[in-house]
């Protein structure tokens, strides 16, 4: 898969992998727009809004600012669909 930056528009149902820094494990998850977020669970998340990260394990992080999600991507802690986890880390830590 080709590496990608965080998409210009973050979809409210995007599939991602999140790096958990404490143990270095990657956790598959899906972004979820909170109820009342304006899009009814469809469409793009506004950069000043928040979302929930619903992990495949069933755990959820609520009220995650979209700006923090973008910052996590910049640090290589989020791999977007179509981007390998190694590419996410390499982008954040150039040689």
CA 29 to CA 79: how far, in whole Å?
A: 10
Q: Give tens-digit pLDDT for 34-54.
A: 644 544 444 566 667 788 899
Coil vs helix vs strand at 1: coil
pLDDT confidence of 14, banded at 50, 70, 90?
Answer: confident
The label of the residue with tokens 């956790």 reads 27
Which two structure tokens, joined as six digits, stand for 34? 């909170």
- What pTM does this model have? 0.68
With helix as H, strand as E and coil as C, how does 51-77 read? EEEEECCCCEEEEEEHHHHHHHHHCCC
pLDDT at 80: 78
Question: How far apart, in whole angstroms, are the C-alpha atoms of residue 44 and residue 58?
Answer: 23
pLDDT digits (tens, 9 = 90+) for 38-95: 444 445 666 677 888 999 999 999 999 888 888 888 888 888 776 666 666 665 555 5
- Give the model's pLDDT for residue 41: 46
């Amino acid at each position: 898969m080709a590496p990608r930056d965080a998409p210009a528009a973050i979809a409210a149902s995007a599939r991602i992998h999140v790096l958990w820094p404490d143990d270095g494990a990657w956790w598959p998850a899906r972004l979820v727009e909170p109820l009342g977020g304006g899009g009814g669970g469809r469409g793009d998340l506004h950069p000043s809004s928040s979302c929930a990260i619903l992990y495949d394990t069933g755990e959820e992080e609520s009220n995650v600012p979209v700006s923090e999600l973008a910052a996590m991507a910049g640090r290589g802690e989020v791999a977007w669909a179509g981007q390998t986890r190694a590419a996410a880390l390499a982008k954040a830590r150039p040689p």
